[in-house]
Amino acid sequence: MAKSRNHAEWNAPPPFKADEYVDSRIYSDEGIFEEELEKIFKKAWIPVCHESELAKAYDFRTVTIAREPVILVRGKDMQVRAFLNVCPHRGNMIERRPSGTFLDGSPSGNPRHMTCMFHAWQFDMKGRCVYISRQEEGYQDRLKKSQVGLRELKCEVYFGGFIWVCLDDDIGMDVKEWSAGALECLQPSLDEEPLEIFHYHKAIIPCNYKLWHDTNCEFYHDYLHYHNRITGFNDGYFARKNMGFDNGHINVGSFEVQYDNYEGFDSRAAISFPHLPPNHWYMIDMFPGVNFNLRGSSLRCDLMTPLGPDKVMIEFRGLGLKSDDEATRRHRIEHHNSIWGPFGRNLHEDLLAVTGQGVSMDAQAEPRKILHGRHENETIHDENGMRHFYEEWGRWMNRSPSDPTKPFSEPSKAESKSKEEALA
Amino acid sequence: MAEIKDRASAATAVREAVYKSCMYKDDMNWEKWLNLCDDDFSYAITAYSPEIQRNMTYLSGNREDMRTMMEMLPKHNSDHSPLKRHCSVYEVEVDEENKTATAVSSVLVYQTMLDGVNCHVDSGESKVFLVGRYCDKFRVNEDDVKFIEREVQLDTRRLDKGSHYPI
């Protein structure tokens, strides 16, 4: 008979294998968080923004990865390059605005240059130092401009025009290799023609970044969303597959959403993205904290920037096709924001849920076991997506997700085989 | 209802309608709010993003869309922390023929925490939820004015959990 549990029972390991739950300290421990920045976020490819955010030569955009300020600039040659947004002189942040153009001069510098306002050192769009104020007077021949260029970062435009940056010069793979096939399901839809951003807002939520990523990786939580229950929850929905890829990435397979079932909503079929069957919905979750979500007519991208063990900034972007006419774009925006906007039906619910998780997993709270032990033949309510993510997380961190005080151990081949057989 | 006989009385009616709209929404009396709006009313929450350098529309709909959205609220999981709108009407302009009017108002929305985070700790705390302006258009009738358009122009773009309620 079902019963409540006392303290010892509550703290006992669940009746699951170790890869079917995690210890909540991975969501709250300050030391683990700092380690994640060093071992994961400084080593991974991160899609920091979209190329349409810096469409013209001399446009720029500023972002942050693992506390490092980063600036993206589009050169005269139209190539996008990434640099640390840090002056090599006194360590000041060079550009303070979120975006803009260097075509105009600044109070301390000339047009077409990045200028550090502090002492007026100037850099060109390739990160070369081109001006040091009173250089000879102060440095004589001891310092040359060639010795104080900006720190350039690995940068690639890939997958529908997203700009990916990696802080690690030695990552040893491009974005295509990094994605390990996870992006392929949407590549024809996103690469057919140029995309354009139409939506941006951000949320700072008092929870660990992985809790948001978890929410994007599991659809069992559709019980949270009236909209998803009424427009989904049919045979097609329950047949959707979760698939894991190397490097911890995940796909959630598609099905046809019945938008008409939600009062006031209508079909997205007329303005579907290229090559996407009408009203279909694909999701890609990229390790360690990125989500691409294509619901027929509009693309959403979530980028997580961890700010602390219990604090994450999530940037939400919405994109359509650059070729959209005014009416089409308006419809895409309505479709996107009625569900995913800051006043939309679903996003608010998701953010409420992870906020509640953040409260219960406060750093000083007693560690808890957080379950992801559902097995449903790797279909939509199976929690294999999260298990896949945490296996990779354990590998990068060399910590066991179910007991982060212990080192990670690779699942044995026998275990993997028996798991596959059990599922079969 | 008072007779609207000239542009001055229309301007007064416009101010009253703006303030009533705030009170009704504060009280979550959506029906009374929508009764201030004409059949062809349209509503939008917009913002300019310096991040992506674009005008954005966060929410939009007509009178019926708004009604449906409010009727569906009980089916959704929402942050029930109430919102209070502090509004000042800055400018009212009534056209020469006394048929239409526009108004620009400053609006500050405070949220008093209830169940949004940890109610034991946070409930009762008030904070600024967003900052913006109402840009309204009205139809001037013989005995009242009706909203035909409300655009909530937000400065705030960091909206954290967001909201299910119109502003």
Which pLDDT tens digit goes with each residue over B108-119? 999 999 998 899
Sequence-distant (6+) residues with CB within 8 A of A38 are A66
CATH for A266: 3.90.380.10
Question: Quick one: pLDDT at residue B85?
Answer: 98
Mean pLDDT of A101-107: 95
Local confidence band at A415 (pLDDT 50, 70, 90 cut-offs): low
Query: Do residue A347 and residue A242 come from a single domain?
Result: yes
| pLDDT tens digits, one per residue of A187-196 | 999 999 999 9
In this model, does residue A222 exceed pLDDT 90?
yes
Question: Quick one: pLDDT at residue A424?
Answer: 47
Query: Do residue A228 and residue A93 come from a single domain?
Result: no
Nearest to B162 among A97, A334, A343 (CB): A343
Q: Are A55 and A71 in contact (CB under 8 A)?
A: no
Work out how many domains chain A is built from and give that number.
Answer: 2
Domain borders along chain B are 7-154
Nearest to B159 among A201, A264, A353 (CB): A201
Contacts of B76 in chain A (CB under 8 A): 226-227, 345, 349
Residue A171 lies in a domain: no
Residue A205 to residue B161, Cβ atoms within 8 A: yes
Question: Quick one: pLDDT at residue A362?
Answer: 86
In this model, does residue A418 exceed pLDDT 60?
no
Query: Do residue A300 and residue A409 come from a single domain?
Result: yes
Residue A112 lies in a domain: yes
In this model, does residue A416 exceed pLDDT 70?
no
How far is CA B12 from its chain centroid?
18
Residues A281 and A293: their CA atoms lie apart, in Å, by 7
Q: Cβ of A311 under 8 Å from any chain B Cβ?
A: no
Residue A301 lies in a domain: yes
Burial class (CB in 10 A: 0-12, 13-18, 19+), A392: buried
Q: Which is it for strands A59-65 and A46-50: parallel, antiparallel or unpaired? A: unpaired
ipTM for this prediction: 0.97
Query: Do residue A207 and residue A96 come from a single domain?
Result: no
End of a domain among A108, A141, A156?
Answer: A156
Q: How many CB pairs under 8 A join A and B?
A: 115
Q: Is the peptide bond before A288 cis (omega within 30 degrees of 0)?
A: yes
Residue A352 to residue B59, Cβ atoms within 8 A: no
**CA angle, residues A417, A183, A250, in degrees to nearest 5:** 40
In this model, does residue A417 exceed pLDDT 70?
no
Across chain B, mean pLDDT equals: 96
Q: Give the nearest chain A residue to B156 (CA atoms).
A: A201
Query: Do residue A272 and residue A219 come from a single domain?
Result: yes
β-strand partners of B103: B92, B136
Query: Which domain covers residue A127, as residue numbers?
Result: 46-156
Residues above pLDDT 90, as percent of chain A: 96
Question: Quick one: pLDDT at residue A230?
Answer: 96
Q: Are A124 and A135 in contact (CB under 8 A)?
A: no
Question: Quick one: pLDDT at residue A419?
Answer: 55
Q: Phi/psi of residue A86, each to 5°? A: -135, 130
CATH class of B7-154: alpha beta
Contacts of B117 in chain A (CB under 8 A): 206, 355, 359
Contacts of A359 in chain B (CB under 8 A): 117-118
Residue A86 lies in a domain: yes
Contacts of A343 in chain B (CB under 8 A): 45, 58-59, 162-167
Query: Do residue A101 and residue A150 come from a single domain?
Result: yes
Query: Do residue A203 and residue A109 come from a single domain?
Result: no
Query: Do residue A221 and residue A94 come from a single domain?
Result: no
Q: Are A384 and A242 in contact (CB under 8 A)?
A: yes
- Provide the 10 A C-beta neighbour count for residue A123: 26
**Helix (H) or strand (E) run with residue A188 in it:** helix A187-191
